[in-house]
Homo-oligomer: A and B are copies of this chain.
Amino acid sequence: MNTTPTPAARTLADPDTPFAVIDVHKSLRNIERLQTRADRLGVTLRPHTKTAKSLDVTALLHHDSTCPVTVSTLAEAEAFADGGYTDITYAVGIDPHKLPRVISLLRRGVTLRILLDSTEQATSVTQASRQAALPIPTQIEIDCDGHRGGLKPDNPDLTEIGRILHGAGCLDGVLTHAGESYFAYSAHEQHLAAENERDTAVAAAERLRAAGLPVTTVSVGSTPTAHAAEDLTGVTELRAGNYVFFDLVMAGLGVCQVDDLALSVVVTVIGHRPEYGWIVTDGGWMAMSRDRGTAAQAQDQGYGLVTDLTGHPIPNLVMTAASQEHGTLTARNGAGLPDLPIGTRLRILPNHACATAAQHHGYHVVDSAQDADPASAPVIQALWPRITGW
């Protein structure tokens, strides 16, 4: 926690709302849980920084030393390189136009691995590598569940791409992401998704090896499968991002409990519409995002669940509608609306931590293990900036 709050912003009662909060106690608990699993499974954990986009949050993972990371933008890669991180995987299929920034990072001594799934991209990468006299370590994206990019392991392009990359010293390995595990609604389905993710990645690696091509990295991961995997034989590393905060989508899948959610947004009651059963707040979609990830789940959580300022849930109160700077809270299950006067501060637990965090420039950091008094506003321990842009 390297940023001192200003004296004017000592507790969550002080800054003007809305603003984002991290409960570092919950975040550390989530981090320890997955690290313990990765250690037991014998794989390197390569956290995905796309959720928090924060050097400070990632520093929680290894007690302020660096670690391998996954990034979703070159802006993240550059910021983590500036922070001393030297082992970075950029896990979005490469646009050849971005290769000059990749090469700049490699020249700085960062091992930046990139991703692709076509012979066209492989040709661009090997040409750029040869021109720069610097092999760009490259992974081939494997499709394990029809989620978005990648090749099926039996696609003939796999070994062709492998040969193109290997010819320029660029072949590092394979990477897959079980994106459909976000729709695996039981522990059994999540376990099967994890098995399939592993099997598919290992099959692709074996196919390349059978063609005489060296495969160093076999990378898998998503937050649900990372928590469901029981055997990662053949896999070298595990990626997950969302777990540092968790969210209502993950709670809806049973990957975590609502009590594990480390990210929330502080809002203020600015109105009442008793004739409609509404409490109106100053936190709309600009503060929460438009993400409605729980709409597809058995329990739709609207735009988020409501807690008091200390983080204790207010039963049956849900943020059900959002304008740009207005949130509407309603009661469900026949509950009455609680008495929350104008000026009352609340916290909203988000559907999708990655999307909600992206609406903010940074985080106000509290520690619920230190703030046990439910009558007091939690103390702000630090202000942590976010990496933004591309």
Contact = CB atoms under 8 A, between A and B. Distances in A.
Interface of A: 16-19, 50, 72-74, 92-98, 101, 117-118, 120-121, 124, 143, 146-149, 179, 268, 270-273, 276, 278, 280, 282, 285-287, 289-292, 321, 323-326, 328, 341-343, 352, 354-355, 358-359, 361, 388-390
Given A93-B282, A95-B282, A148-B280, 7 more contacts: A17-B95, A17-B97, A72-B286, A118-B271, A143-B273, A179-B323, A290-B352
B94 A17 contact: no
B146 A276 contact: yes
Contacts of A291: 285, 290
How many identical chains are in the complex?
2
23 contacts: A16-B74, A16-B97, A92-B270, A92-B325, A93-B326, A95-B270, A95-B343, A97-B268, A118-B271, A118-B342, A121-B342, A124-B343, A146-B276, A148-B278, A148-B323, A149-B273, A179-B323, A285-B291, A290-B291, A290-B292, A290-B355, A358-B359, A361-B388
B19 A390 contact: yes
Contacts of A124: 342-343
B280 A326 contact: no
B149 A92 contact: no
Nearest to A17: B95
Contacts of A354: 324
A6 to B, nearest CB: 15
A331 to B, nearest CB: 17
Q: What secondary structure prevails in chain A residues at the interface with B? A: loop
A65 B324 CA distance: 27
A18 B390 contact: yes
A149 B16 contact: no
Contacts of A352: 290
Contacts of A324: 50, 72, 354-355
Contacts of A146: 276
Nearest to A119: B342
Contact of A286 (B17, B143, B342, B358): B358
B361 A98 contact: no
A360 B124 CA distance: 29
A74 B18 CA distance: 12
A177 B280 CA distance: 15
A19 B354 CA distance: 19
A92 B290 contact: no
A326 B16 contact: no
Contacts of A343: 95-97, 120, 124
Nearest to A355: B290
Contacts of A95: 16-17, 268, 270, 282, 342-343
A270 B325 contact: no
